[in-house]
Amino acid sequence: MKQFQFNYETEENLVSMLKRIRQWCDSSVVSNVLFQIYSETLNKSLVENICNVIGREIPDALYMGTSTNGNIILGDKSKESISIVCTIFEYPSTHIKLFQFPLSEEEAREVTKSLIAFIRQNPWVKSIKTFTTMRGMSMTDFCDYLAELPKSIAFCGGGAFSEDMNESAAFVFSSEGPISDHATVFLLTGGDDYYVKTAHVTGWKPLGRYLEVTKARGAVLYELDHKPAYETYYRYLNIKNDENFFTNTLEFPFIYELNGMDILRAPIASNQDGSITMTADIAENVKARISYGDPWTILESVYNTAITFQDFIPQAFTVFSCAARRTFWGDEEVGNETMPFQSIAPTSGFYTSGEFLRSGRYVNQHNVTLVIVAEREGDIEGKEIPKVDMDTEVFSGKVSMISRLATFIQASTEELEEANRLLGKAAITDGLTRLINRTEIQHRITAIAKENQGLGSLGRVRQGDSLIMIDIDNFKHVNDTYGHKEGDIVLRKLSDMLKRVIDDLAPGSSIGRWGGEEFMILLPGVDIEKAKSVAEAFRTSFSEIDFPNAPHQTISLGATEMIAGELADISCMRADDALYEAKKTGKNKVVVH
């Protein structure tokens, strides 16, 4: 694999460079020639002319391209508006194939079906790169459909953009289709001697407590913890809703877990209703945290990722970097996070409106992320392992002030969350038995009853829910004869037994101390016949327990099945009546009402 990376200056210079490439190809073994064209300008006629010149000078070459927020060439941000990368594949076994499809949310299913159908018929495919338009479009379904690709295939890419981040226009193009504002281009590469490896870098770290996304639609985040989303940025970071909102929030995107990995979503605008428009879709009911960007931490993440590629001995890197990272660093320093890859192998790419990367079986859309793709042809036996050239003194052995403060805030937040968790648990827990208390078991019974009422109004009924009420027989005699300490042991051993039996016979049930020596068990989805057998298991198991001083004890039990439409109190009273009958008619028995 051989690469030529250069900037477009004039047509004359382009022709000169193409003749040089053709000359090299004529003197070498070549299987495929691919041009990747990155254009920071939206001048379509200029781009079309470049494509025509390539087609004229090297007719067998394929090309693909995209509009960008900036181009990466030789590992750094290019100062020119158009950059061109020519990749020459040298092994006869290496295959490449280009597709270009029109793309909209409605067309995403058919596009991915066509792609997958081709791959199933061509098992040589090992990797897919995409340049795709995505501005104003939800890419969630697109990513979900792409997850159906064979698991062995690497998938990565970037969203088309423009020099002006506020500009919605963007395009992609290829030798298989025209310049299009609504399209996707796929490059399929593979073969026995082709190898690929992917990775991603964020470097942004979570900060503060979790916030629940309580209302969101597509890329618009309406509420966090049932409050307007903008309030989070104003309250915690004092970021105002003005023309600097995007710039000020750039260091603090949201981070949340999606498909088992951390995903960043950056705000791009704050709206009048207090909602925030994000760079991509964010789902409801997920837990998100504000994250922070610290240059030292980011560079350390870049270094740690770069060294993982050393043993792969790549021949070329393609980088898809979020335009937000370019803004974060500024044009003079943004190369700090891409030049380490250039020290291993030629590195090119562009600044995107969103990044795509497959991790496991899922294809995820990223933001504020650096996606890195390494490629090579041939094995690495006998080849020298390259070293990452990077000044590690910037972060080695040092911790920046913002990192220290963030660590302090995060540790304090975690301690507070744990204290609140323990307080919340204590509020619903019985101190002696460690079961839930009466207030909590009543709350859960009421919730099931209300759910049954709702289903009843729809003409449907849940599979049975049952209650079991328990009372220790002659418990006053235990306290009076053997002391309250022995009585407490009886209560705790009964509680432990109830938990063991429930785990075996009815997992997911709730056990609560009703008061004194009385207990209530809620068995969701358990009909009365199963509840009766559980109650019998309670009864026989308790009668076999040994106590330090007191003799064996017994319990009486009342069981009932909750009826759709009735109040929780009525169900509890029926269980209580059954228990009363068990006590009245001899104790140590189960009665069902």
What is the pLDDT at residue 400? 54
394-445 pLDDT, tens per residue?
A: 665 544 545 555 655 666 667 667 777 777 778 888 989 999 999 999 999 9
pLDDT at residue number 456: 53
Tokens 């997911």, residue? 508
Counting Cβ atoms within 10 Å, is residue 507 exposed (0-12), middle (13-18) or buried (19+)? exposed
The residue among 276 and 268 whose pLDDT is bigger is 276
pLDDT at 404 (0 to 100): 53
| Of 199, 326, 306, the residue nearest 266 (C-alpha) | 326
CB 473 within 8 A of CB 555: yes
Q: 423: part of which helix (H) or strand (E)? A: helix 401-427
- Dig out the tokens for 416 from the structure: 């507070």
Region 443-451: mean pLDDT is 91
What positions carry a catalytic annotation?
517
pLDDT at 476 over 80: yes
Cα–Cα distance, 367 to 324 (Å, whole number): 8
Per-residue model confidence (pLDDT) at position 460: 44
pLDDT at 93 over 90: yes
Q: What is the CA radius of gyration of the chain?
A: 33
The per-residue pLDDT for 454 is: 66
Spatial separation of the C-alpha atoms in residues 291 and 264, rounded to whole Å: 8
Q: Which of 165, 166, 101 is nearest to 130 (CA)?
A: 101
User: What confidence tens digit (pLDDT) does each residue in 342-399 have?
Assistant: 999 999 999 999 999 999 999 999 999 999 999 999 999 989 999 999 988 766 554 4
Averaged confidence pLDDT in the chain: 91
Mutual orientation of helices 475-482 and 484-505 as an angle, nearest 10°?
A: 140
* Cβ(528)–Cβ(438) below 8 Å: no
Q: How many CB atoms lie within 10 A of CB 459?
A: 6
SS3 86: strand
Q: What is the pLDDT of residue 244?
A: 82
Predicted structure pTM score: 0.71
CA gap 111, 177 in Å, rounded = 14
3-class secondary structure, 109: helix
Determine the Cα–Cα distance for residues 491 and 478; give it in Å rounded to an integer: 11
* Cα–Cα distance list, 19 to 16, 54, 87 (Å): 5, 10, 15
Burial string for 404-418 (b: 16+ CB within 10 Å, else e) reads: eebeeebeebeeeee
Q: What is the pLDDT of residue 411?
A: 63
The upper half-sphere exposure of residue 389, i.e. CA atoms within 13 Å in the direction of its Cβ, equals: 7
Give every CB contact of residue 419 below 8 A, 6+ residues apart in sequence.
none
Task: With a cut of 70, say whether residue 498 has pLDDT above it.
Answer: yes
- Please name the residue ranges forming H helices in 428-511: 438-457, 475-482, 484-505
Which one of 223-232, 238-247, 272-281, 338-347 scores highest in mean pLDDT? 338-347
